[in-house]
């Protein structure tokens, strides 16, 4: 009688091990699926970052083209818009005129990227409220200016104003030009780069 009781207990214990093993197998299978999906997500993220980096380098072509044009034309040409070169002599100070607004890109132009066989769009904004000379008085133009760099340790004397609208500068001030370039890549990838160029009037 005692031997039969021990045998039944042993068989009952062996029956409990099967559901435990099945649960462990299910947990391991779910963990494997999660690990596989995590690996795929990491690979996709790395691929997207590499693609975005390539687009960013391609967008730099627009910035270089705009800078080459800015540095080669007479300064008087920059008083007014030059649509063929993507140049706008003013920047709209109103709200909502950021790079995501289509109005920001009015007057832009494109340059062909032969390596990627794609187009890069860019626009140059002069940081002035009105067209014309930066120091015009009727109407008074308001431009973002920076004191010209001098070959001295201190570019301004002690007590001089550092405000952008200060009346006196050491030499001619430098005007700010903002170059914005963008490129639309495949799979909905869009990259936008900006550069600020400071040049004398």
Asked if residue 126 lies in contact with residue 92, where contact means CB atoms within 8 angstroms, the answer is no
Residue 90 resides in a domain: yes
Residue 10 resides in a domain: no
Residue 75 resides in a domain: yes
41-50, 68-77, 170-179: lowest mean pLDDT where? Answer: 41-50
Name the 3-class secondary structure at 106. Answer: coil
What pLDDT is stored for residue 157 in this prediction? 55
Length in residues, the chain: 201
Span 101-154, pLDDT tens digits: 888 888 889 888 777 677 889 999 999 888 888 888 888 888 888 876 555 445
64-68, 70-74, 152-156: lowest mean pLDDT where? Answer: 152-156
Asked if residue 160 lies in contact with residue 166, where contact means CB atoms within 8 angstroms, the answer is yes
Q: How many CB atoms lie within 10 A of CB 146?
A: 15
Span 8-55, pLDDT tens digits: 555 555 567 777 788 888 888 888 887 777 776 776 777 667 667 777
Instruction: Check pLDDT > 80 for residue 1.
Output: no
Residue 150 resides in a domain: yes
Contacts of 105 (CB under 8 A, 6+ apart): 99, 121, 123
Q: How many CB atoms lie within 10 A of CB 201?
A: 15
Residue 70 resides in a domain: yes
Domain count, the chain: 1
What pLDDT is stored for residue 52 in this prediction? 73
| Two tokens, residue 112 | 């062909």
- Can you tell me the distance from the alpha carbon of 138 to that of 180, in angstroms, rounded to the nearest whole number? 30
Phi, psi of 183 (to 5 degrees): -140, 140
Strands (E) in 55-186, as ranges, are 87-88, 109-113, 118-126, 145-146, 174-184
Nearest-10 Cα torsion for 61, 195, 182, 80:
-90
Residue 178 confidence class, pLDDT cut points 50, 70, 90: very high
- Can you tell me the distance from the alpha carbon of 201 to that of 144, in angstroms, rounded to the nearest whole number? 12
Nearest to 201 by CA among 83, 76, 88: 76
pTM for the model stands at 0.65
29 or 93: whose pLDDT is higher? 29
Bond from prior residue into 139 cis (ω within 30 degrees of 0)? yes
Q: Which domain holds residue 151?
A: 47-199
Residue 52 resides in a domain: yes
Instruction: Check pLDDT > 60 for residue 158.
Output: no
What pLDDT is stored for residue 86 in this prediction? 92
Q: Which of 39-43, 93-97, 161-165 has the highest mean pLDDT?
A: 39-43
Q: What's the whole-number mean pLDDT along residues 178-195? A: 82
Residue 148 resides in a domain: yes
Residue 18 resides in a domain: no
């Amino acid at each position: 009688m005692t031997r039969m009781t021990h045998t039944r207990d042993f068989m009952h214990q062996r029956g409990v091990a099967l559901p435990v093993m099945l649960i462990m197998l299910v947990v391991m299978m779910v963990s494997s699926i999660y690990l596989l999906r995590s690996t795929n997500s990491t690979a996709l993220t790395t691929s997207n970052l590499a693609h975005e980096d390539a687009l960013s380098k391609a967008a730099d072509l627009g910035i270089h083209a705009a800078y080459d044009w800015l540095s080669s034309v007479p300064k008087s040409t920059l008083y007014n818009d030059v649509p063929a070169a993507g140049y706008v002599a003013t920047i709209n100070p109103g709200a909502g005129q950021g790079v995501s607004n289509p109005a920001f890109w009015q007057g832009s132009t494109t340059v062909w990227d032969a390596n990627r066989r794609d187009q890069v769009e860019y626009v140059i904004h002069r940081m002035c409220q009105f067209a014309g000379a930066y120091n015009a008085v009727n109407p008074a133009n308001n431009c973002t200016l920076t004191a010209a760099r001098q070959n001295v340790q201190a570019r301004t004397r002690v007590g001089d104003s550092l405000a952008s609208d200060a009346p006196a500068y050491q030499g001619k001030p430098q005007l700010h030009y903002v170059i914005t370039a963008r490129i639309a890549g495949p799979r909905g990838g869009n990259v936008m780069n900006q550069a600020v160029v400071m040049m004398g009037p």
